[in-house]
A and B are shown apart, each in its own frame.
Chain A
Amino acid sequence: MIATEAAARQAERIIAARTKAKITHSLIYIAVLAVAIWCFKTTIIDDTDWARIGSVANVLESIGEFLEVDWGLAANLWEPALETIMVATLGTLLGVVVCVPAIWFGALNITPYAPVTYPLARLMMTLSRSIHEIVWGLFFVAAVGLGALAGVLALAVRSVGFIAKMSSEAIEDLDPKPVEAIRAVGGSEFKVFIYAILPQVLPTMIGVIIFEWEINIRRSSILGLVGAGGLGLVFFRQLNTFNYPGVTTTILAILVLILFGELVSFYVRKAII
């Protein structure tokens, strides 16, 4: 008797918990949907100049302008593409150099003075990640003038956040035994770093850096919009001269470049790790 009663009570409890979860889930779904409908109304229905868009045929027509490819432009895209890759590479390398102090300060187990240096490193990482590369590009164009240097600096600063975050997390997770072993035989702090810490985190770091390089190709392909050269500048020029097939060619070139970057990063990571 008692056993069945207990079982019944437990079953009731389970059913009650399930109904409660169901109600919460439906409420969340309804809230998501309601906010979506409201956002749809304010952003898309109210804020769009429907007269400017016209009929569906007009939209299709303007999309159709992009569907041609201007092959004549393709031969002129080698140099900007090379420039884009170079800016990405230099930016990533400079980012690695810049992020060394951020990694050092940002890993809780090796940070010199945790109450001050750890928040400082976190601030550096957040600042680098939260500001968009376009904004960094504008800032550095104002500081060092038009040209590739501004793009390199913008990418370097923008890369710091990701590289430093992943690397310092890798350092926090490392095995402390080699560190103790090197200390026990009397190795200096520098030797501890070279022989105990670096070999453990190097594969992760190289993977992260190559991944960041791949992302930086994508970023450097648009830095031309703010005056840092490369494929972005070609894109901007083609658009401003209303040569829509040329715009399509440039976008295709960017796609090919990024595919190339992804392939290189895939094989290099496979070779190293």
Chain B
Amino acid sequence: MAVRATTQTRSGAKSTPPREWQRLKFPESLYNWGGLLLALVFLCYSIIYLNIPLERVSNMFGRVGTLITERYYPPEIDYVLEPDYLSSVFDTIQMAYLGALFGMMMAVPLGWFGAYNMTPSRRFVYPLARLIAMSTRAVHETIWAILFVTILGFGMMAGVLALTMFCIGFAGKLFAEEIEAIDMGQVEALRSTGASELSVMVYAVFPQVRVAFTGIGIYTWDVAFRAATVVGFFGAGGMGWYLKRNVLQIETHRVSAILLSIIVLVLISEAVSAWARARMAKAK
């Protein structure tokens, strides 16, 4: 107060009246609190609408505890070491490998068409490629698995195709984003010499994104492996089938052993993929 008083007397003229400092000013505060209130109302309404028994939430922790200790606790490790199960694990790895490979093969043109700076036609091809990438990714991999099992019957082919569909969208989106971030100078240089679009792609775009594509490829395999552990749940091959069988037979000790094996395998695949990506970044 004192400081302001002296400045006012020194300048003589009356400056703008002092404003009360507020964290939120009038319209913003209304929007913020209103939005929060709406969210809260939606929350309460959805709890009522979904008929969620809140009284069960309180004793849920005890129930989950007893469920784990009494039913799941000693995992039947011998079961996951049986040759049958191990061969299914092997099948799962193969399925993930093939699915990721096929998916990426189709994702490369999709990434090209879906990158805004390189797409052959911004009006028709670009939205189409984006739509394909969005819809293959949006439909969950288990739905793809069920659809392919319905069409092609039980077996690993359905699983491979389901993973392929999933990887197309996943890798296609990342590829397109990678191509959108390239240096356009080389593209212009090649275009000015009259090179065709394909040559521009091969000699100007591809060398720039090769390393990134390989990294995305390894990551796609990692994600596909995680998805591959459950596509068998609906009859598409791999270890998911063992999981489903034991869940239905309420062989809980075996289920917990299978879950443990999935966790270990995912950890291994994550470590391998991190190692390969680091190795490749170094070799670049």
Contact (Cβ within 8 A) B143 A222: yes
- Asked whether A148 and B97 contact (CB < 8 A) given A134-B230, A219-B140, the answer is no
Which of A39, A130, A143 lies in contact with B60, CB distance below 8 A?
Answer: A143
User: How far, in angstroms, from A153 to B54 measured CA to CA in the complex?
Assistant: 12
User: How far, in angstroms, from A159 to B86 measured CA to CA in the complex?
Assistant: 30
User: In the complex, what residues of B have CB within 8 A of residue A63's CB?
Assistant: 151
Which of B52, B101, B150, B160 lies in contact with A239, CB distance below 8 A?
Answer: B150
| Best-buried of A47, A49, A145, A148 by chain B (most CB within 10 Å) | A47
User: In the complex, what residues of A have CB within 8 A of residue B51's CB?
Assistant: 147-148
Contact (Cβ within 8 A) A48 B155: yes
Contact (Cβ within 8 A) A126 B138: no
**With an 8 A cutoff between CB atoms, is A62 at the interface?**
yes
User: How far, in angstroms, from A59 to B139 measured CA to CA in the complex?
Assistant: 21
Contact (Cβ within 8 A) B64 A143: yes
Which of B47, B146, B152, B259 lies in contact with A131, CB distance below 8 A?
Answer: B259
- Asked whether A48 and B50 contact (CB < 8 A) given A43-B95, A251-B143, the answer is no
User: How far, in angstroms, from A145 to B59 measured CA to CA in the complex?
Assistant: 13
Contact (Cβ within 8 A) A52 B153: yes
User: In the complex, what residues of A have CB within 8 A of residue B234's CB?
Assistant: 225
Contact (Cβ within 8 A) B150 A62: yes
Contact (Cβ within 8 A) A59 B230: no
B162-183 near A? 1/0 per residue, CB < 8 Å: 0000000000000000000000
- Asked whether A130 and B263 contact (CB < 8 A) given A143-B63, A255-B138, A262-B134, the answer is yes
User: In the complex, what residues of B have CB within 8 A of residue A32's CB?
Assistant: 101
Contact (Cβ within 8 A) B56 A144: yes
> Closest Cβ of chain B: how far from A65's Cβ, in Å?
9
| Best-buried of A145, A219, A222 by chain B (most CB within 10 Å) | A222
> Closest Cβ of chain B: how far from A22's Cβ, in Å?
13
Contact (Cβ within 8 A) B143 A130: no
User: In the complex, what residues of A have CB within 8 A of residue B60's CB?
Assistant: 143-144, 153
- Asked whether A132 and B226 contact (CB < 8 A) given A87-B50, A221-B140, A259-B134, the answer is yes
Contact (Cβ within 8 A) A152 B263: no
User: In the complex, what residues of A have CB within 8 A of residue B91's CB?
Assistant: 42-43, 47
User: In the complex, what residues of B have CB within 8 A of residue A239's CB?
Assistant: 146, 150
Interface residues of A in 39-88 (CB under 8 A from B): 39-40, 42-44, 47-49, 52-53, 59, 62-63, 66, 82-83, 86-87
User: In the complex, what residues of A have CB within 8 A of residue B98's CB?
Assistant: 36, 39-40, 43-44
Contact (Cβ within 8 A) A222 B135: no
Contact (Cβ within 8 A) A89 B46: yes
> Closest Cβ of chain B: how far from A92's Cβ, in Å?
11
Contact (Cβ within 8 A) A148 B259: no
Contact (Cβ within 8 A) B140 A59: no
**With an 8 A cutoff between CB atoms, is B94 at the interface?**
yes
Contact (Cβ within 8 A) B229 A90: no
**With an 8 A cutoff between CB atoms, is B204 at the interface?**
no
Which of A52, A132, A143 lies in contact with B230, CB distance below 8 A?
Answer: A132
> Closest Cβ of chain B: how far from A232's Cβ, in Å?
8
User: How far, in angstroms, from A264 to B69 measured CA to CA in the complex?
Assistant: 42
> Closest Cβ of chain A: how far from B39's Cβ, in Å?
9
Contact (Cβ within 8 A) B262 A131: yes
> Closest Cβ of chain A: how far from B194's Cβ, in Å?
29
Contact (Cβ within 8 A) A134 B52: no
User: How far, in angstroms, from A142 to B46 measured CA to CA in the complex?
Assistant: 23
**With an 8 A cutoff between CB atoms, is B42 at the interface?**
yes
| Best-buried of A32, A44, A132, A247 by chain B (most CB within 10 Å) | A132
| Best-buried of A59, A82, A135 by chain B (most CB within 10 Å) | A135
User: How far, in angstroms, from A147 to B54 measured CA to CA in the complex?
Assistant: 12
> Closest Cβ of chain B: how far from A36's Cβ, in Å?
5
**With an 8 A cutoff between CB atoms, is B156 at the interface?**
yes
User: In the complex, what residues of A have CB within 8 A of residue B247's CB?
Assistant: 138
Contact (Cβ within 8 A) A148 B50: yes
> Closest Cβ of chain B: how far from A75's Cβ, in Å?
18
**With an 8 A cutoff between CB atoms, is B190 at the interface?**
no
**With an 8 A cutoff between CB atoms, is B147 at the interface?**
yes
User: In the complex, what residues of A have CB within 8 A of residue B160's CB?
Assistant: 43-44
User: In the complex, what residues of A have CB within 8 A of residue B156's CB?
Assistant: 43-44, 47-48
- A: residues with CB less than 8 A from B are 32, 35-36, 39-40, 42-44, 47-49, 52-53, 59, 62-63, 66, 82-83, 86-87, 89-90, 93, 126-127, 129-132, 134-135, 138, 142-145, 147-149, 152-153, 218-219, 221-222, 225, 229, 235, 239, 247, 251, 254-255, 258-259, 262
Q: A129-B226, A135-B262, A222-B142 are in contact. List 9 more A-B contacts (CB 8 A).
A: A43-B237, A44-B157, A47-B156, A47-B237, A48-B152, A82-B49, A126-B266, A143-B60, A255-B139
10 residue pairs bridging A and B, Cβ less than 8 Å apart: A42-B94, A47-B155, A49-B153, A52-B153, A129-B226, A130-B266, A218-B140, A254-B138, A259-B138, A262-B134
